[in-house]
Amino acid sequence: MPIRVQNDLPAKEILEHENIFVMDENRAEHQEIRPISIGLLNLMPLKEATELDILRSLSNTPLQIDVTFITVSSHESKNTSANHLNRFYQTFSEIKDRRFDGLIITGAPIELHEFEDVDFWAEMCEIMEWTKTNVTSTLHLCWGAQAGLYYHYGINKITLPQKLFGVYKHRVLNRKVPLVRGFDDVFVMPHSRHTDVPIELIRADKRLTILAESRMAGAFLVTAEHGRQIFMMGHPEYDRLTLDKEYKRDLAKGLPIQIPYNYYPDDDPENKPLLTWRATANNIYCNWLNYYVYQVTPYNLYGAPDFSSNFKANDPDIVIL
């Protein structure tokens, strides 16, 4: 699948080196096709690394995707250059009159703060409200998932006694829901967070459906509004060495950090970590783009998409495992 990005985006060269088909603006303009329009609200401090992770995750379907990088204006980024932000990003105020097939809201390392204490929370609320009318399907990741569940459904996060850090087993609960088509019964996925949304509170809200959960890590994949809102608590986009870098960074800073669970062979940080979640991660993004974005989005991005043909919460064909 060609990913359509700006001609001089730094991640473009890395993706091409990985044999991922990246189409620049010049070539895309000569194709008679409407690409899928995806917005990426990037809240992570190291934005270039997150761009690469997300673009890599979007690269495994035959659809052409036009990615718009979005940033909040109510927070000053200290870890990404102003030049990069000015060249490749738009603020919410600059895109709020547009409509998108899909939107990805990333996590942010601010989970120990109360939502209302986050300096861009008011803007986040405006964005999440805007998604109800201007986005076909919104995918919330990690802190973004916790923020979405709090804003849309009033379910608050709790602080964990110890950081949830490592690669954890999960099981699929609703196999016939399109988002988890092709999944194995059990799969692994990285987590890295100090907070959690209690799974019993999610289960108690009949507007929400848990599609995958972990005995140790809690809810992983949750959907609502027939897929218009999707919440992922972990990090399927993580690269092989992301947890390794986090672990060694915190060690160097003298912070209390345990060895990532189920990550290093023999629990030895000198051993190269095994990449055990990439196939499932690719499946998640492919299913999201196909069943919740491409199959239901109006061609001209106007009009209300219909998700009911994909999945109904009371569909008798859905089997709860």
Written as one letter, the residue type at 237 is E
Distance CA 26, CA 76 (A): 31
Q: Is 237 a catalytic residue?
A: yes
Q: Which of 51, 237, 246, 286 is catalytic?
A: 237
Give the CA dihedral 52, 93, 2, 234, nearest 10 degrees. Answer: 40
Q: Which of 111, 140, 235, 246 is catalytic?
A: 235
Phi, psi of 130 (to 5 degrees): -60, -35
The DSSP H or E segment spanning 202 is helix 199-204
Left if phi > 0, otherwise alpha if psi is -120 to 50, otherwise beta: which for 154?
A: left
**CB hemisphere CA count around 126 (13 angstroms):** 13
Are the beta carbons of 184 and 196 closer than 8 angstroms?
Answer: no
Q: Which of 142, 170, 246, 286 is catalytic?
A: 142
Chain-centroid distance, C-alpha 226: 17
**Which distant-in-sequence residues (6+ apart) come within 8 Å of 60 by Cβ?**
1, 282, 285, 286
| Residues labelled as active-site residues | 142, 235, 237
